Chains A and B, each alone.
Chain A
Amino acid sequence: MTTTAGRSTPTEPRPGVKAGSVVGWLASTDHKRIGLLTVGTSLVLLLVAGGLAMAMRAQLTQPQLEVLSNDLYNQFFTMHGSMMIYMVMTPFAIGIGLYLVPLQIGAPNVAAPRTTMLSYWLYLTGAVVMLSGFSADSGAADHGWYAYPPLASSRYTPGQGVNLWIIGVALSSLGMLLMAGTVLWTVLLKRARGMAMLRMPVFSWSIVATNLMVIGAFPTLLVAVGILAGGRVYPDMFTENIWNIGYQHLFWFFGHPVVYVMFFPFVGAVAEVLATFAGRRFFGYKFLVLSLLLFAALSMSVWGHHMFTTGQAASNYYSLTSIMLVIPAGIEYFDMLATVVGGRLRFTTPMLFALAFLPQFLIGGLTGIMVGTPALDYQMQDSYFLVAHWHYTLAAGSLFALFAGVYFWFPKASGRMLREGLGKAHFWLWVAGTNLTFLPMFWLGLNGMPRRIPTYLPRDGFTTENLIATIGAGLLAVGGLVFIANVVVALRRPHQAPPDPWQAHTLEWATSSPPPTFNFSERYPIPPIRSYAPLLDLREQEQSSRAEAG
């Protein structure tokens, strides 16, 4: 049963443990707490990964600087990429699903809450283990975030850093696999009465598609890092081509779905934010749900587009499957644009981040078609063009959408409003900073700058673009500090957020901010569910009955 009527809602889930204590948090089986721990940990690690990026940008500001040595630079880009992908964007994506999905579908908690708690511990341990590489004599891992053998074998990269990296990736990926499983289980079996699959909010559907990809793809990552672990002990195995190219196939079989794991929940967040602040029902719900599932299915067949220059992947096939992604992506854009075109727009901070996501992610998507075209990729692969494309999808795209979601749901999770003025300052600093940082990188790539180089020469002609990029990165850092200040100021104030500060559409806004232990209560019952926007239904019903009465 999924109703909470008659169930008591204790403030202390376990006798003898104070809810607010460290043990109360770390031993919690409440999906909201585990979700907030996951999301909070990933945001702290975003600072670490961002700090590494700032150091790299400082090193590249001008030719032949010596801010970082070659080896330290190599550790920094490896750990920046590894932290962002394995420890920040992926856990945030799955963790925000854990926080929101039970609320959105009217469930009192996640299925298998103890397993879910374990998944957070695995993630946290993995992150700490990976970062601890910096304390090893050899330094942290420095083989790049996809750790190609033979480079990542003990012959060419000796030392503990790589071992710790492998253990860290394995632990946190196992954690994410478990968390995705329990959330998917919750969606399938713990929906409230009336919450049919096709009445679930767009965001919850984006999490379904995400978690399906996690379950399909992450086991392959565990196999791939298992092969790497073998190569730490028997480096000779990587003298055979089959292990090297085999690793790449396995890795990217995980590696491309994970790109959409780091994208879908954020598209889902943008869709909710756009619909809310357009004051209308999201346009094209059914096509969007279908497109997410098609997107997830196709994502399992495109991995070889990372391997066009290997000469060991069927390039036309992967080009076809990659270009086919235009169909689901095109549907998503159509629906989001139609929602904006058909709405009355309110420009809150989350709405600004969501609106900027549309053109910015589009640059990432359109250049994605270019790098998905083998004849162009033979030039662009492993150049700064790829770095630019990738950061337009993940930073200008997913990270903007992430902040749209953070500003949107912060009042729900914390019970406190963030300041709009500080939020807008953050937004404009980031629009300027993101585009100044990543747009010049397209030109750097076309002019022949390879990725992963710690320095360049004055005669290379890379100086101007790099200087602009570093200035942009500085703006991103300032914007990040504004955000932190906003959060700190808000958290020092008492609870003041109403249940639904935005006039939003979905069930989480029907309960208090923050929600009670089992999400809904007698004071905050689950409203009737007749569509994917139950709170909007209620408002429209009130309006029409008022009109009839008037």
Chain B
Amino acid sequence: MPFSTVFDQLFTVWAAIAGGVFVLVTGIVLVAVLINRAKRRRKLPFRASENKPVELGYVVVLAGIVAALFYGSYQANSALNHGKGLAAETTTPAARIDVTAYRWCWDFAYQSAPVTVTGTCTTNDFPTVVVPAGQPVEFNLTSRDVVHAFWLPDFAAKRDAYPDHVNTLRMVFPEEGRWRGRCSEYCGTHHVTMDFYVRAVSPAEYQQYLDSGGAAV
């Protein structure tokens, strides 16, 4: 499943649970603040300082909540192949792209054609990586110097780029369009401008792009 679909579904559920708990706890505090003021009460509402059956029962409830939350977390993480995105066994990527992060920009190299994209990540010179829309794309992320992170905020996808290590990120860009990507692991002075763009085009245009050696499409 796409990162953003999984994110949206799970975030909605998690936010609803969090909202419910927050309203419940804050409500209890506010009601207690109103009705338990020392001016209004001459005696304690209740004197017990423990209640083992209630407390034990509550721990069991908490354990059930933990089980449910972890089940949701596990299912979602499995759907995302532990952060790698689409499972490799089920999908052959239509595009394999080696991504090299460095201070402070990105290189993109296509495995199936001698096409590379780069830039300086200064004013209006950000690299744009072209991908086929609707088809699986594989990014192989590495770094030439320090740790960076490849983040596509619009797709809820993020993966770190390390020197001497390759991380894989597989995803589908369902529609044609252009989106901004950013470095999200702090990497020094110009971390803030270490942006790139992903442009998804039709598979035919993508082929044309590769055949022309990376000319603009």
Q: Residues of A at under 8 Å CB distance from B?
A: 70-71, 74, 142-144, 148-151, 156-157, 238-241, 244-245, 278-287, 308-312, 315-316, 319-320, 323-324, 326-327, 330-331, 333-334, 337, 340-347, 355, 358-359, 362-363, 366-367, 369-370, 372-376, 378-379, 381-383, 447-448, 450-456
CB distance from A237 to the nearest CB of B (A): 11
Q: Which of B149, B185, B186, B189 has the most CB of A within 10 A?
A: B186
Contact in complex: A241, B162 (CB < 8 Å): yes
Contact in complex: A367, B147 (CB < 8 Å): no
Sample (20) of A-B pairs whose CB atoms are under 8 Å apart: A74-B186, A150-B146, A240-B164, A280-B47, A281-B49, A283-B48, A287-B50, A287-B55, A319-B77, A324-B66, A324-B70, A330-B58, A333-B25, A340-B32, A358-B29, A369-B18, A378-B3, A379-B158, A382-B149, A448-B182
Q: Residues of B at under 8 Å CB distance from A?
A: 3, 6-7, 10-11, 14-15, 17-18, 21-22, 25-26, 28-29, 32-33, 36-38, 41-51, 55, 58-59, 62-63, 65-66, 69-70, 72-74, 76-77, 79-80, 82-84, 103, 145-147, 149, 151, 153-154, 156-160, 162-165, 167-168, 180, 182-192
Partner of B158, one of A245, A309, A319: A309
Partner of A342, one of B38, B45, B103: B45
Partner of A345, one of B6, B37, B50, B146: B37
Which chain A residue has the least Cβ–Cβ distance from B40? A344
State A309–B184 Cα separation when bound (angstroms): 11
Contact in complex: B182, A450 (CB < 8 Å): yes
Contact in complex: A337, B184 (CB < 8 Å): no
Partner of A366, one of B21, B44, B55: B21
Q: List the 9 closest pairs (A to B, CB-CB), nearest first.
A: A448-B153, A375-B76, A366-B18, A379-B156, A241-B164, A281-B49, A311-B167, A453-B192, A452-B186
Return chain A residues, CB-CB under 8 Å to B51: 284
With A311-B167, A316-B74, A326-B62 as contacts: A156 and B145 at CB distance below 8 Å: yes
Contact in complex: A241, B163 (CB < 8 Å): yes
Q: A337-B32, A359-B22, A373-B76 are in contact. List 18 more A-B contacts (CB 8 A).
A: A71-B189, A74-B188, A148-B185, A151-B146, A156-B103, A156-B146, A312-B165, A315-B82, A334-B58, A340-B32, A344-B38, A345-B32, A373-B77, A375-B3, A378-B3, A379-B3, A379-B156, A383-B184
Contact in complex: B7, A376 (CB < 8 Å): yes
Which chain A residue has the least Cβ–Cβ distance from B10? A375
Which chain B residue has the least Cβ–Cβ distance from A367? B18
CB distance from A465 to the nearest CB of B (A): 15
State A193–B27 Cα separation when bound (angstroms): 42
CB distance from B54 to the nearest CB of A (A): 9
Contact in complex: B62, A327 (CB < 8 Å): yes
With A323-B70, A367-B18, A452-B186 as contacts: A285 and B191 at CB distance below 8 Å: no
Which chain B residue has the least Cβ–Cβ distance from A366? B18
Return chain B residues, CB-CB under 8 Å to A345: 32-33, 36-38
Which chain B residue has the least Cβ–Cβ distance from A312? B165
Return chain A residues, CB-CB under 8 Å to B17: 366
Return chain A residues, CB-CB under 8 Å to B76: 373-376
CB distance from A396 to the nearest CB of B (A): 13
With A284-B55, A374-B82, A379-B153 as contacts: A451 and B186 at CB distance below 8 Å: yes
Return chain B residues, CB-CB under 8 Å to A366: 17-18, 21-22
With A362-B22, A366-B21 as contacts: A382 and B185 at CB distance below 8 Å: yes
Contact in complex: B18, A343 (CB < 8 Å): no
CB distance from B65 to the nearest CB of A (A): 6
Contact in complex: A309, B22 (CB < 8 Å): no
State A158–B37 Cα separation when bound (angstroms): 59
Contact in complex: A156, B188 (CB < 8 Å): yes
Return chain B residues, CB-CB under 8 Å to A451: 184, 186
State A465–B11 Cα separation when bound (angstroms): 21
